[in-house]
Amino acid sequence: MSEQEKSFTDWGKKALSQSENGKRIIISETVDSYKSKGFTADETLEILGANDVNNYNLIQSAVDAAYGRTASVETNQVRESYIIPAKYSEIKNLVEAQLNELGPKEFMNKLARSKNPIMPVNDKAFNSYLRLASNALSDKSSMSQLHDGLKKWFEEAIFVSHCAAKSTKNEIRVASVNGKYVATNERGASCEVCLDSGTCTCAKFANSHYADFGLACEHVVAAADKVSPHQRLLKAVREAKVQDSNTTKNSFSFQDLRTVVRS
């Protein structure tokens, strides 16, 4: 292709990208290109979605059309469930919802008086948190203080799950069985993980009420690792793009994602 032809082609693509229909055309052509090179639908979606998170929905629609897949809201929900919480802010709303639903006493009992509590605190600390939780229902300042106090406990639970999933000592192995995942440790004990709902049948997950607070045990983390580390990053990348859109346009390349995954 001559320089003149290349310039004309680049100009044409830039012009197309200024409209919604133009974006669809460019994205569809790019998806077709990846398909012709032998990439699967999931691989194409991961690569293009990671590079252009602002147009993720358009990319997904193009992939569904090119590969003959039926697009559905359920598919999006399943992909979101692969994303494992990495910090308290990601589950903060769930925690607050539990307080409103259960009331202060039952809320604190779930957190600190379960069989395997997220917050193994003594009676004095328990009563202090209980008073704060009671005030938080009607006072924004108290709610903020409560979140500040809970954050360290929840992020410790998140950290422990990630470390346990990666630990060579635990040797967690994950196998796919009938659309679900079975995680087995070095002692041969196994549990069933459902990534659609982000749940696990292990005692820790049940006894600590992880499902109620949006937490993941080490088996859920290990199963999500097996599926695709890129899917867990897409939400975080999209959120970062939205936050930065008013000040600068950040480019997050597929190479960047691979670096993060390896780290």
Sign of torsion, CA 12 14 18 19?
positive
Ranked by mean pLDDT, the top range of 68-77, 156-165, 176-185, 227-236 is 156-165
Crossing angle of helices 254-262 and 41-51, rounded to 10°: 100
Q: Backbone phi, then psi, for 40, in 5-degree steps? A: -75, 170
Residues 157 and 55 in one domain: no
Residues 16 and 77 in one domain: yes
pLDDT for position 106: 97
**With 50 as the cut, is the pLDDT of residue 263 above it?**
no
Instruction: Determine the structural domain holding residue 126 and report its residue range.
Output: 88-227
Q: How many domains in the chain?
A: 2
Give the torsion through C-alpha atoms of 102, 105, 111, 113, to 10 deg. Answer: -130
pLDDT tens figures, 174-206 = 888 776 789 998 888 899 998 878 899 999 999
Residues 16 and 126 in one domain: no
Residues 97 and 220 in one domain: yes
The first and second tokens of residue 206, run together, are 């049940």
Residues 169 and 93 in one domain: yes
Residues 9 and 129 in one domain: no
How many whole angstroms separate alpha carbon 65 and alpha carbon 75?
A: 14
How many whole angstroms separate alpha carbon 138 and alpha carbon 184?
A: 45
Residues 151 and 244 in one domain: no
Per cent of the chain over pLDDT 70 is: 71
How many whole angstroms separate alpha carbon 62 and alpha carbon 199?
A: 31
Read off the pTM: 0.57
Give the residue, 231 or 52, on which the prediction is more confident.
52
Residues 160 and 186 in one domain: yes
Residues 114 and 70 in one domain: no
Residues 93 and 223 in one domain: yes
Residues 48 and 9 in one domain: yes
> What's the pLDDT band for 233 if we cut at 50, 70, 90?
low
